[in-house]
Structure 1
Amino acid sequence: MNGVQVVVASLGGTITMTGSGGTTGVRPSLTADDLIGSIPGLARTAEVTARTIATIPGASLSAADIFRAFAWARDAVDDGASGAVIVQGTDTIEESAYLLDLHWDRAAPLVVTGAMRAAQATGADGPANILAAVQVACSPESRERGVLVVLNDEIHAASRVRKMRSSGLNAFRSPSFGPLGGLVESAVVYGNSIRRPAPLPVPTGSSRPCVALIETHLDDDGALLDLATASDHRGIVIDAFGVGHVPAKVAGAISRAVAVSKPVVFASRTGSGATFSSAYDFVGSESDLLRRGAIPAGWLDARKARILLTCLLAASSTMDNIKSEFRRRGQLSSPALPDWRNTTGKHHDTESTGCWSGTQSNDTRVRSQDPS
């Protein structure tokens, strides 16, 4: 017993799904208590307290569900937990983890995990993923790294990870730069890192602005973008070709959206790489979109760009502030960017050093507790 405490909350997802009766498929049914109750090695890793927040598929999660989990995790680490783990469906992990990361302002790690196989499946990966997530959450090396996504013994940054396959244990990847680290013989090992801008303020209201996400395509005439402009959507994210290109007609629709003060962000639909700023100069190119007032997402993919734009609009950010935040968060680094961790406690430099650091998880006992 070394006093290391980690809290685990479940929102549901495949990891909680089982089959029953004559149904042919699986549905969420297991509680957080069920999930941690029979994981080999968990009792030797940390003293774990479990809580069930929701038991729903990842596809049906809402921002309100994510913020409930956020508040629970922040309260838990403020009460002394070394780290927190949120278990959820993998369909929306790449979005919910980034939403959490934008607001997470504690040094303690917040880890998100799930499973690609249901609980009753042969070779179910849920128990191993939860164990790995707890090991990451209680490692001192994980502190001040923000929100981490742990699956298949890999540790990913919330701002970079994507679900790249519809199935399979290797579905999650960080395509441009790779994972931050992994687990080797239960040791948490980091070999990569990122710099995090200051967290955004936690929203106080319950309403969320609508932001449209539109992928461009061959023969796109901009009609769908015009519909979004005429609707009550407060902003628009375009999943553009290549380094940030759209058809000429879509470029015109972007101008019409900007003219009525709706922020338009463009990202690359390729799944890897960043938007450019000046390599091309035709109608609909990245430089043309910039002249029209569109905002580049940089290294953020369109799904994460939508999350960021929604959060900024919810905070009543000005257009200038929105552009500034996308520059800060869509770029790899900024020498002038202050490190927010200097104001929250002991500073640990997480810039890539080329060194690998690892910590072995310690032994304590498991305690589970679900609300009545």
Structure 2
Amino acid sequence: MSSGRPVVAVGALGGTIASSSTDGSAVVPTLSAERLAEAVPGLVESAAVHAETLAMLPSPSLDEPTVLRALCWAREQVDGGAVGVVLTQGTDTLEETSYLLDLFWDRPEPLVVTGAMRSPQSAGADGPANLLTAVRTAVAPASRDRGVLVAFDDELHQARWVAKTDSVATGAFRSPVFGPLGRYVEGEALYGAPARHPVPVELPDLRTRLEEPLPRVPLVVTHLGDKGEVLDVVTAAEPDGIVVGGFGAGHVSAEMAEVVGRAAVAVPLVFASRTGAGPTGRAMYGYPGSEVDLVRRGAIAAGWLSPFKARLLLWTLLLTGETDGERLRAAFADRGAP
């Protein structure tokens, strides 16, 4: 605590929220965490902010080790007395990084991820408002025990369901399946009905684990006329697991189903719906390439998880050493459910 104000740690990873240009050309990440915090009106009244720059990257260049190092930093901050943590980053990968953090976040204190669609030099820059929302959300007692939250455009989302649904709009983030978890109104984080937060995965010792080869889990999205040629090439590269983004409720062509069956014998293979909302099917269709057929061939259904979130869950489970097919299937049945 400082001067009676709760401490919130703000870690910056780069992205549009931290981007600027000195000559009027295209912007790049340049602004430190301290400068981001200093530019937000009302922030110092909300909390005693400890700001630290963790990386200075555009979000497409973020990777799993960088995110897990940020996770360790966030855990250290709350263990040191912070009532919550905010991470700022670019929006392109935010729906994935927030879920990876959520899989391991085992503290009751809020971990809130935010960013911006417009750079600080743009008219109507949204970064300051999003950062203020995130910090005040991190301070709010009602935000505790909810896992990782995404604060954007005055809405609060559960990391498991949030998605970037527009390439340029300031309201780009939505939770297409179940809607936002809460809203930020007149300086207050307000929540509806409590949402289930699955038990966090136990974080391995990253000092040694990140020095070892990390799981390789490619994502293959099917398309009209797909006969599985790309999936065959991917399987031949001997990855540790594969995720397939299927049509509708997780379907593929009859020809691709044969390839899925061969791949599922070699490595854990998960299929998800590429639609952006709705689960994989369970028992509605039985034709070759349907959900029933793919499960029969050894594939694992992702449930309500998008292909991107399903890939991160499989990657996380493999990182911890889990390879047993039945336990993987049980994990997806649990974490892929509402």
**TM-score category, normalised to shorter length:** over 0.9
1-structure distance, mates of 2:18, 2:138: 21
1-structure distance, mates of 2:296, 2:116: 44
Q: For residue 321 of structure 2, give the secondary structure of its aligned residue in structure 1.
A: coil
- Structure 2, gaps ≥5 residues long: none
Q: For residue 218 of structure 2, give the secondary structure of its aligned residue in structure 1.
A: strand
> What is the aligned partner in structure 2 of residue 361 from structure 1?
none
> What is the aligned partner in structure 1 of residue 307 from structure 2?
302
Q: Does 1:209 align with 2:215?
A: yes
Say whether the 8 Å CA contact 2:249–2:273 is kept in structure 1.
Answer: yes
Q: For residue 92 of structure 2, give the secondary structure of its aligned residue in structure 1.
A: helix
2-structure distance, mates of 1:143, 1:159: 16
> What is the aligned partner in structure 2 of residue 20 from structure 1?
22
2-structure distance, mates of 1:227, 1:203: 31
Q: For residue 211 of structure 1, give the secondary structure of its aligned residue in structure 2.
A: coil
Trace 1:137-156 onto structure 2 (pairs within 5 A). Answer: 137-156=138-157
> What is the aligned partner in structure 1 of residue 132 from structure 2?
131
**Structure 1 position 192, deviation (Å):** 3.7
2-structure distance, mates of 1:123, 1:84: 26
Q: For residue 334 of structure 2, give the secondary structure of its aligned residue in structure 1.
A: helix
2-structure distance, mates of 1:127, 1:64: 27
1-structure distance, mates of 2:64, 2:271: 22
Say whether the 8 Å CA contact 2:5–2:46 is kept in structure 1.
Answer: no
1-structure distance, mates of 2:71, 2:300: 29
Q: Does 1:279 align with 2:273?
A: no
**Structure 1 position 230, deviation (Å):** 1.0
Trace 1:43-122 onto structure 2 (pairs within 5 A). Answer: 43-122=44-123
> What is the aligned partner in structure 2 of residue 352 from structure 1?
none
- Which segment is superposed worse, 221-230 or 299-308? 221-230
**Structure 1 position 152, deviation (Å):** 0.3
Say whether the 8 Å CA contact 1:179–1:192 is kept in structure 2.
Answer: no
Q: For residue 280 of structure 1, give the secondary structure of its aligned residue in structure 2.
A: coil
> What is the aligned partner in structure 1 of residue 228 from structure 2?
222
Say whether the 8 Å CA contact 2:150–2:158 is kept in structure 1.
Answer: yes
Trace 1:180-259 onto structure 2 (pairs within 5 A). Answer: 180-204=181-205, 205-206=209-210, 207-259=213-265
Match of 1:8 among 3, 7, 10: 10
Report the TM-score, using the length of structure 1 for normalisation: 0.87
> What is the aligned partner in structure 2 of residue 319 from structure 1?
325
- Which segment is superposed worse, 184-193 or 174-183? 184-193
**Structure 1 position 203, deviation (Å):** 2.8
> What is the aligned partner in structure 2 of residue 38 from structure 1?
39
2-structure distance, mates of 1:324, 1:109: 27
Q: For residue 11 of structure 1, give the secondary structure of its aligned residue in structure 2.
A: strand
1-structure distance, mates of 2:49, 2:319: 34
Match of 1:331 among 318, 334, 337: 337
- Structure 1, gaps ≥5 residues long: 333-372
- Percent identity, please: 49
2-structure distance, mates of 1:86, 1:220: 39
- Which segment is superposed worse, 292-301 or 198-207? 198-207
Q: For residue 136 of structure 1, give the secondary structure of its aligned residue in structure 2.
A: helix
Task: Describe the superposition over 1:243-270 as per-residue Cα deviations: whole angstroms up to 9, x where unpaired.
Answer: 111001110001101222x111111111
Q: For residue 225 of structure 1, give the secondary structure of its aligned residue in structure 2.
A: helix
Alignment RMSD (CA, Å): 1.0
Q: For residue 306 of structure 1, give the secondary structure of its aligned residue in structure 2.
A: helix
1-structure distance, mates of 2:179, 2:222: 27
1-structure distance, mates of 2:238, 2:72: 29
- Which segment is superposed worse, 35-44 or 299-308? 35-44
Of the two structures, which has the highest relative contact order with CA contacts closer than 8 Å and spacing of 6 or more?
1
> What is the aligned partner in structure 2 of residue 175 from structure 1?
176
2-structure distance, mates of 1:265, 1:193: 29
Q: For residue 124 of structure 1, give the secondary structure of its aligned residue in structure 2.
A: coil
Task: Describe the superposition over 1:211-248 as per-residue Cα deviations: whole angstroms up to 9, x where unpaired.
Answer: 01011011101011111111131111111000111001
**Structure 1 position 3, deviation (Å):** 3.4
**Structure 1 position 198, deviation (Å):** 1.1
1-structure distance, mates of 2:236, 2:217: 13
Say whether the 8 Å CA contact 1:119–1:126 is kept in structure 2.
Answer: yes
2-structure distance, mates of 1:34, 1:3: 20
**Structure 1 position 20, deviation (Å):** 2.1
**Structure 1 position 289, deviation (Å):** 0.6
Q: For residue 93 of structure 2, give the secondary structure of its aligned residue in structure 1.
A: helix
Say whether the 8 Å CA contact 2:302–2:336 is kept in structure 1.
Answer: yes
